[in-house]
C-alpha cells in the first residue's frame, strides 16, 4: 500500500528478485510489513487466501534472497500461498490489484502468467512429485539450478506427497523441501503426521540443544566438510533425544525447526541447504494469518476469505434476502439424517466448512470423519464402511473427486456399494479458475456402471436427492454448484424420487428444453422469452438424473416435437447433452438437438460466473439467440420441404 505518492515504498521499487537481493537486511522487516498491508488491502476487496499468504511473507522473501528465479525453481504446493512470490516477481500494481478478477492475477501459480511460476497448481499435494521430476530432469540434463518444493504441513496428509517422499533419494541428490508448518490445513490439520510434526517442534530438550550446537557450527564458514560433520551430529543427537524425524528415515536431511518469521534464521538455513549434497527438508514454523489479528484468531475463516473489512475482519454482509447456500442446506440435511440414523456417516477430505459438514461435526461428532487431504482414502474408507452396512456420505468438491477416480470405479461402483457422493462446486468456481471448476464429473461418472448421477434444480430437491441416495442399493452421485440455491423453501419431510424419472415442469409442442440442475430456472426463463418473441410453444423438463436418463419421456417427446434443447452446467463433451444424443441415437430417433454447455477448453478465472458465461457465448441472450436461430433454420427447411 503506497500511502504517500511522494515517498516510494520499498515494495513499489521491487521489479523482480534482483531488487529483493539489493535491499539491506535491515530493510527487510519494512518490506515484509508493506507486503502484508498490500495483501490485506487486495484480499479485503477481492477475497482470497489471505491467511496462508500472511504466514509465508518472511519465508518467501528469504527464498528470493537466497535463490534466483526463474533459473532456480520454486514449486509451491496448492500454490494458494503464492501472492508474496507474485508481488516480488514483477506482478504488483494493477495486475495484482485485480487478483482473482477478470484480467487480473490468478489466485494460484500459473505457468502462463510468469516465467517465475515454475509449476502451476490448485490441488494439494502435487509439489513434491513435480519438484522431484524437475530436479531429476536437471540432473539428466547436467545443469545446476536449484529446485525448491514449498509444502504446507497438510500436504503431508496427501498420498501423492508420501509417494514422492518414498522416491526422493532414489531420484536425486539435490532437492530442497520446505515444510511450512502452521498446524492448519483449512481446518486444524489432522492425523498421525500432524502429531509427529507437533512432537518435533515442541520438544524443548531437543530444541535447546539443537539451537546451541547449530549456532556453534554456523560460526564456521559454510563448507561441504562442515556440513557433513554438522549433519552427522544432528542425525545422532536427534535419534538420541527425540524419536528420529520421519523425513530422515526417508533419506532427507532434516533441518529445523526454524522460526518462519525470523528472516536471518531462514536465510542461514536456506544458504546451508543450498550447499548440501543430499536432499534436505527444512522444517519452518509459521503463524497462519500473521499480521491480521482476525486471521490469527480465525484461521479457518481466513484461509480463503470472502471480501472483509480490513480493520475489523468482518465479512461484507450478503445482500438481505439472498437464498440459502446449497452447502448449508446439505450440511443441515445430513446432520438431520445422521441424527435419525446412526448408520449415516459424513466424510470430508479436509473441507468441513467448505462442504457444510461442520454442522455434522458439531452435532453428531461420532458420525463425522475428516481424513485430511486424502480423497482416494476418503472414497475407499467409505467403501469399507458401506461394505459393513453403513451409509457413508463423501462430501467432496467435484474437482477434487477427480483424484479418486479409480476408487470410484474399482472399489465403489464395481462392487455396487451404497456410498453417496455429494459433489459440491459442480460448475464454475469463478475466482479460483480452471483448477477448481467442476465441469467434468458427469462425463467421468456416467460411463461407470451402477452409478446414479443426479443434480437438483433447487436446494429443496437437493434434500430429496440426498434422502433418495441414502436409500439406493448402490452408489449415488449428487452434483450441485457453489453458493446460493434458487430460493426454494425446504419441505418438512423429504420425498423419495423415482430413480431415472424426470419432471415435466411445462408442456410445449414446438421445442422442449431438457435442463439439468441449476440450468432449470434458466430454462424456465428461456421458455417464456421464446414463447413471447418467437410465438412458439416451449416445454421444460427438469431432467433430475443424468444417469439413468428418463429415456421413455425423452423418446415420447422427440417423436412429436421438432427440436430438443439440452442445458447443462458442464462441458459438452460427454456431458448431459451427450447422454440425450446417445439415447436418441440408440432408438434411431433423428429429432434435432441443440446442446448448450461449456466448450472444450479450460475456462480461466474471472470476476463472476456471468462474465465467464458471456465470454463463452453462454449468456442468456446468446443462448436465446442460438435456440432461435436453430428454430428458424428448421422452420425454413420444413417450409421448403412442404413446398
Ligand X SMILES: Cc1ncc(C[n+]2csc(CCOP(=O)(O)OP(=O)(O)O)c2C)c(N)n1
Active site residues: 288, 375, 403
DSSP 306-372: PSB-TTT-PBPPPPTTPPPBHHHHHHHHHHHHHHH-TTEEEEESS-HHHHTTHHHHHH-GGGEEE--
Return the ∠ at Cα 592 (arms to 590 and 594), rounded to 5°. Answer: 145
DSSP 8-state code for residue 25: G
3-state secondary structure 87-131: HHCCCCCHHHHCCCCCCCCCCCCCCCCCCCCCCCCCCCCCHHHHH
Which residues lie near ligand X (CB under 6 A)? 52, 55, 77-78, 80-81, 123-124, 152-155, 180, 182, 184-186, 288, 303, 349-351, 373, 375, 400, 403
Query: All 3 cell numbers of residue 636?
Result: 425454413
Least distance to ligand X from the beta carbon of 257, Å?
15
Q: Which is nearer to ligand X, 124 or 364 (CB)?
A: 124
User: Cα–Cα distance between 329 and 66 in angstroms, integer?
Assistant: 49
Least distance to ligand X from the beta carbon of 215, Å?
29
Least distance to ligand X from the beta carbon of 187, Å?
8
Least distance to ligand X from the beta carbon of 201, Å?
14
Angle, to 10 degrees, between the axis of helix 326-340 and the axis of helix 459-469? 40
Q: Which is nearer to ligand X, 178 or 442 (CB)?
A: 178
Pick the closest to residue 346 from 448, 259, 414, 424 (CA basis): 424
Q: Which is nearer to ligand X, 46 or 182 (CB)?
A: 182
Q: Which is nearer to ligand X, 151 or 523 (CB)?
A: 151
Give 568's contacts (C-beta < 8 A, 6+ positions apart): 442, 515, 516, 517, 519, 546, 575, 576, 577, 595, 596, 597
Phi-psi region of 427 (alpha: psi -120 to 50; beta: other; left: phi over 0): left
Q: Which is nearer to ligand X, 154 or 515 (CB)?
A: 154
Least distance to ligand X from the beta carbon of 153, Å?
5
Least distance to ligand X from the beta carbon of 160, Å?
9
3-state secondary structure 439-483: CCHHHHHHCCCCCEEECCCCHHHHHHHHHHHCCCCCCEEEECCCC
Helix (H) or strand (E) holding 139: helix 127-141
Residue nearest to ligand X (CB): 152
Least distance to ligand X from the beta carbon of 185, Å?
4
List b or e across 242-264, with b for residues whose CB sees 16 or more CB atoms inside 10 angstroms. Answer: beebbbbebebbbbbbbebbebe
Q: Which is nearer to ligand X, 86 or 403 (CB)?
A: 403
Q: Which is nearer to ligand X, 49 or 336 (CB)?
A: 49
Contact (Cβ atoms closer than 8 angstroms) between residue 198 and residue 301 = no
Amino acid at each position: 500500500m503506497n500511502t504517500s505518492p511522494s515517498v516510494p515504498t520499498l515494495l513499489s521499487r521491487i521489479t523482480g528478485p534482483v531488487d529483493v537481493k539489493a535491499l539491506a537486511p535491515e530493510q527487510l522487516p519494512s518490506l515484509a510489513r508493506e507486503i502484508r498491508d498490500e495483501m490485506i488491502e487486495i484480499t479485503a476487496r477481492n477475497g482470497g487466501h489471505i491467511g496462508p499468504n500472511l504466514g509465508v511473507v518472511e519465508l518467501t522473501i528469504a527464498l528470493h534472497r537466497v535463490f534466483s528465479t526463474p533459473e532456480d525453481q520454486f514449486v509451491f504446493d496448492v500454490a494458494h500461498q503464492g501472492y508474496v512470490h507474485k508481488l516480488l516477481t514483477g506482478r504488483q500494481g494493477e495486475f495484482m490489484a485485480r487478483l482473482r478478477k477478470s484480467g487480473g492475477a490468478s489466485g494460484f501459480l500459473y505457468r502462463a502468467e510468469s516465467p517465475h511460476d515454475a509449476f502451476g497448481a490448485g490441488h494439494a499435494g502435487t509439489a513434491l512429485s513435480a519438484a522431484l521430476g524437475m530436479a531429476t530432469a536437471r540432473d539428466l540434463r547436467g545443469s545446476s539450478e536449484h529446485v525448491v518444493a514449498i509444502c504446507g504441513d497438510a500436504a503431508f496428509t496427501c498420498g501423492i506427497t508420501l509417494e514422492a517422499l518414498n522416491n526422493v533419494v532414489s531420484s536425486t541428490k539435490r532437492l530442497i523441501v520446505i515444510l511450512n508448518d502452521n498446524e492448519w490445513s483449512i481446518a486444524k490439520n489432522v492425523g498421525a503426521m500432524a502429531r509427529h510434526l507437533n512432537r518435533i517442534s515442541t520438544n524443548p530438550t531437543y530444541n535447546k540443544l539443537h539451537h546451541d550446537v547449530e549456532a556453534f557450527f554456523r560460526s564456521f564458514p559454510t563448507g561441504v566438510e562442515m556440513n557433513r560433520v554438522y549433519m552427522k551430529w544432528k542425525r545422532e543427537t536427534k535419534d538420541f533425544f527425540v524419536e528420529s524425524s520421519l523425513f530422515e528415515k526417508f533419506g532427507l536431511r532434516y533441518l529445523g525447526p526454524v522460526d518462519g518469521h525470523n528472516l536471518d534464521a531462514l536465510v542461514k538455513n536456506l544458504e546451508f541447504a543450498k550447499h548440501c549434497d543430499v536432499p534436505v527438508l527444512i522444517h519452518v514454523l509459521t503463524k497462519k494469518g500473521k499480521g491480521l489479528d482476525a486471521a490469527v484468531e480465525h484461521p479457518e475463516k481466513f484461509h480463503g476469505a470472502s471480501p472483509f473489512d480490513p480493520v475489523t475482519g468482518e465479512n461484507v454482509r450478503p445482500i438481505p434476502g439472498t437464498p440459502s447456500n446449497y452447502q448449508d442446506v446439505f450440511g443441515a440435511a445430513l446432520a438431520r439424517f445422521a441424527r435419525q440414523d446412526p448408520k449415516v456417516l459424513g466424510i470430508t477430505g479436509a473441507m468441513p466448512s467448505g462442504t457444510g459438514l461442520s454442522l455434522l461435526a458439531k452435532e453428531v461428532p461420532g458420525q463425522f470423519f475428516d481424513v485430511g487431504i486424502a480423497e482416494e482414502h476418503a472414497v475407499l474408507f467409505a467403501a469399507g464402511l458401506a461394505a459393513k452396512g453403513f451409509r457413508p456420505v463423501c462430501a467432496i468438491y467435484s474437482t477434487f473427486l477427480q483424484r479418486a477416480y479409480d476408487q470410484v470405479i474399482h472399489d465403489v461402483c464395481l462392487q455396487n456399494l451404497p456410498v453417496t457422493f455429494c459433489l459440491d462446486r459442480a460448475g464454475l468456481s469463478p475466482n479460483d479458475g480452471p483448477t477448481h471448476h467442476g465441469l467434468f464429473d458427469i462425463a467421468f461418472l456416467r460411463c461407470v456402471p451402477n452409478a446414479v448421477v443426479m443434480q437438483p434444480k433447487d436446494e429443496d430437491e437437493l434434500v430429496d436427492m440426498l434422502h433418495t441416495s441414502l436409500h439406493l442399493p448402490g452408489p449415488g452421485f449428487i452434483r450441485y454448484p457453489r453458493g446460493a440455491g434458487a430460493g426454494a423453501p425446504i419441505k418438512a419431510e423429504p420425498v423419495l424420487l423415482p430413480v431415472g424419472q424426470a419432471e415435466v415442469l411445462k408442456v410445449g409442442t414446438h421445442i422442449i428444453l431438457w435442463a439439468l440442475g441449476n440450468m432449470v430456472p434458466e430454462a424456465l426463463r428461456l421458455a417464456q422469452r421464446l414463447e413471447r418473441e418467437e410465438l412458439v410453444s416451449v416445454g421444460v423438463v427438469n431432467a433430475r438424473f443424468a444417469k439413468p436418463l428418463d429415456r421413455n419421456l425423452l423418446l415420447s417427446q422427440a417423436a412429436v416435437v421438432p427440436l430438443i434443447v439440452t442445458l447443462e452446467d458442464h462441458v459438452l463433451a460427454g456431458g448431459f447433452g451427450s447422454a440425450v444424443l446417445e439415447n436418441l441415437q440408440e432408438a434411431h430417433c433423428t429429432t434435432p438437438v441443440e446442446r448448450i454447455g461449456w466448450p472444450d477448453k479450460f475456462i480461466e478465472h474471472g470476476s463472476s460466473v456471468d462474465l465467464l458465461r458471456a465470454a463463452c457465448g453462454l449468456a442468456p441472450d446468446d443462448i436465446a439467440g442460438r435456440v432461435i436461430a436453430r428454430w428458424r433454420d428448421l422452420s425454413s427447411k420444413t417450409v421448403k420441404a412442404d413446398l
